[in-house]
A and B are shown apart, each in its own frame.
Chain A
Amino acid sequence: MAKPNSAQTALDLLVLTVLGRRGPLHGYAIATAIEDLSQEALRVEEGSLYPALHRMEELGWIVAEWRVSETKRRARSYRLTSSGKKQLVSESERWASFSAGVSRVLRHA
């Protein structure tokens, strides 16, 4: 398990949140969603999204299926599973307590 403050887990949390809020999306849509929502504050190397997606797929948090897109291309679309939903909840809580802890230290140090 990655440490709670590692970039990897943050990315996981972002992906899970986006999928939780906006339903099944393909990789590009997830990347742009994260970019838009964070108002471009979070801009990871776009490609690193894919190993993260595949890892979460192997863990069973998300499932993928191929869809034919509007441009007649094959697009792989991901959605949350029930265990993914549970993971989203626990990760959110962990993130919330972590960031609260950081804020407290910053205020009182």
Chain B
Amino acid sequence: MSWLSRLTNALNPHRLDQDLADEIKDHLERRAAALREKGLNPEEARRQARVHFGNTIRLREESRGIRLSTRLAGTLQDIRYAWRGMRKGPAFAATAVLSLALAIGANTAIYSIVDAAILRPLPVRAPEQLFTLSYPDVSDPGSPAGPDRDSFSYPEYLQFVAAAMPAAHLALFSSPNRVEARALNPDASVEKINRGFVSGEAFDLLGVRPALGRLFSSEEDRISQSHALAVLSYDFWHRRFQADPAVVGRNLIINGKAFEIAGVTQQGFFGVEPGKFVDVWVPGTLYESRALTESGWHWFRMIGRLGRGISPEQVQARLQPSFHDFRVQLVKRFPTLPPAIQKQFLQSAIRVHPASTGVSDFRKTFSRPLWISSEWGPASC
């Protein structure tokens, strides 16, 4: 296996160089000895032996090139030289290493974000069946359309849920906010947590299971509830409560209001917005009462699951009439809108997008509907 010997020799060229030198030296000495026997003096014998042999250096190089991989040996020599140079100038080396480390770190971070936000599906049941809703924003006539809007109001949510059934189920998910929370005892410290609002059936729709206690049900969709419940995320439970099972039933004060902890979600579930980690979920109906009645107050996104054999187009067709109604109401509320804008409102259509990787603010590049996508073909069969 000549390639193997060429490789080993390249890794340790000194041994090879020594061998080649020794072999040639042996030859020259024997030749010199033979010449001495013929009567030449040692000086002359040695000289003639050399001449007779030929160009020692060239021949040694030729043999060397045959017996080791010169490319590899050359590269290794360059590396050793670079290493010596770096040791002589450690400040320079440190700067270089730091720059490279920062660049590599930044790229890794970006890739992780891309992976989480765009590539990795949500850790829920059958994520390929999930969809989210959006609608085009109004734009100045003539200028290109901006990104879609994807937040809705509570009255819209109620109408859409009714319109979509039984072809699809819908749930609301708000983007998490930072709020103040503390435990019940008066001397507990206040800390900031991420709180998200969800509808009662949200966890059920996604297929998220409880790791402890129970999660929300349709009971949490009632406007006046007997007690306010909250659900913790697995990470938050571990971090803040040291995975204490006795946390169920304890109270949490969030922005001054008391919530009873009902349970903890399964490990790995962080919400539906990659990059944003929800600590506590609270029913959407416990948000401000005006937020539940004003159709102009948009404060959450909607995620739905397609029923068996239902296509996104069918869902869109079911929702469009209700969506149009709301647009008509909106135009009536603002009669001073220019006619071109009014037209835009009345002609806009709601859009249905796949949401297997969740929803995200930085995916507002979706200005075209992706409702006809290959990944939905098999799912709707």
Contacts and interface: CB of A to CB of B under 8 A. Distances in A.
Interface of A: 26-28, 31-32, 45-48, 50-51, 54-55, 57-60, 66, 69, 73-76
Interface in B1-49: 2, 5-6, 19-20, 22-24, 26-27, 29-31, 34
Contacts of A55: 66
- Report, as a range, how many residues of chain B touch the other chain: 20 to 34
A87 to B, nearest CB: 15
B147 to A, nearest CB: 65
A47 B56 contact: yes
Contacts of A74: 22, 26
B52 A46 contact: yes
Secondary structure call for the B interface: helix
A50 B26 contact: no
Given A27-B27, A73-B29, A74-B22, A48 B59 contact: yes
Contacts, number: 60
A74 B62 CA distance: 21
Contacts of B27: 26-28, 31, 46, 50
14 contacts: A26-B27, A27-B27, A31-B27, A45-B54, A46-B27, A46-B53, A47-B53, A47-B56, A48-B59, A54-B63, A58-B66, A75-B26, A76-B19, A76-B26
A53 B66 CA distance: 10
B26 A73 contact: yes
Contacts of A66: 19
Contacts of B23: 27, 50, 75-76
Given A26-B26, A50-B63, A69-B26, A59 B2 contact: yes
Nearest to B29: A73
A47 B5 contact: no
Which residue, of B6, B22, B24, B27, has the highest number of chain A Cβ atoms within 10 A? B27
Given A27-B27, A47-B53, 15 more contacts: A26-B27, A27-B23, A28-B31, A45-B53, A45-B54, A46-B27, A46-B31, A50-B59, A50-B63, A51-B63, A58-B2, A58-B6, A69-B26, A73-B26, A74-B22
A74 B56 CA distance: 18
Contact of A28 (B22, B26, B54): B26
B67 interface: yes
